[in-house]
Amino acid sequence: MARKDSAVLHFDNDLANRQTLLDVVDAFCRRAGGDEQGVGRIRLALDELFTNIVSYAYDDDGSHRITVELLRSPAGMVTITLIDDGRAFNPLDQPPPDLDSDIEDRAIGGLGIHLVKTFTDSCDYSRDGDTNRLTITKGFGQARPGREKEGRAR
């Protein structure tokens, strides 16, 4: 069984840091017992969130710090929180995308947050002082949804 584990990472708001962040998260989730597909889903969720922050969160061109907190429970529940000091914005508030109309009418874009919601077990936003906090969870191993009902936050 995987031990409890945690890490705190800091990145500048630069898309050049995206791959490093995703590789670290990838390794962290694998240690939690994640398989190829589960780890890929969480990697995608983080990619969408980090890319959104870097691309849209800031009103200036300056350098900002984005903090990523990783936590793994002994059972394999991974909790990841992204903290940025961009303008107050809850990405989870946006309406769901249109997934039903024909290709001609389908909007281009707007799928990122939908994928985050689909591919995580839970996601929560809060505004804490001057920072946005976005937390996602995903169960691997024994904490995989459907395998263990107790001990889950929802």
Partner 1 sequence: MKVSISQDGPVTIVALEGKVDTDTCNDVETALLAEIGKGATRMVIDMAEVDYISSAGLRSVLIAGKKIKAVKGRVAFCNLRPLIFDVFDASGFTTILTVCGARDEAVAACRA
Q: Which residues bind partner 1 (CB under 8 A)?
A: 15, 18-19, 36-37, 40-41, 43-44, 47-48, 51, 97-100, 102-104, 106, 108-109, 111-112, 114-115, 118-119
Nearer residue to partner 1 within complex by CB, 18 or 133: 18
Nearer residue to partner 1 within complex by CB, 93 or 150: 93
Strand order in the sheet with 122-128: 5-12, 65-72, 77-84, 131-139, 122-128
Cα within 13 Å of Cα(83), Cβ side: 12
Query: Least distance from C-beta 1 to partner 1, angstroms?
Result: 26
Residue-wise DSSP of 22-47? HHHHHHHHHHTT--HHHHHHHHHHHH
Query: Least distance from C-beta 129 to partner 1, angstroms?
Result: 29
Query: Least distance from C-beta 140 to partner 1, angstroms?
Result: 15
Query: Least distance from C-beta 23 to partner 1, angstroms?
Result: 12
Q: Please give the Cα distance from 68 to 8 (Å, whole number).
A: 6
Q: Helix (H, G, I), strand (E, B), or coil: what is residue 18?
A: helix
Nearer residue to partner 1 within complex by CB, 24 or 111: 111
| Token pair for 125 | 């936003």
Query: Least distance from C-beta 4 to partner 1, angstroms?
Result: 27
Q: Please give the Cα distance from 1 to 46 (Å, whole number).
A: 25
Per DSSP, 95 falls in state P
Nearer residue to partner 1 within complex by CB, 8 or 92: 92
Nearer residue to partner 1 within complex by CB, 1 or 99: 99
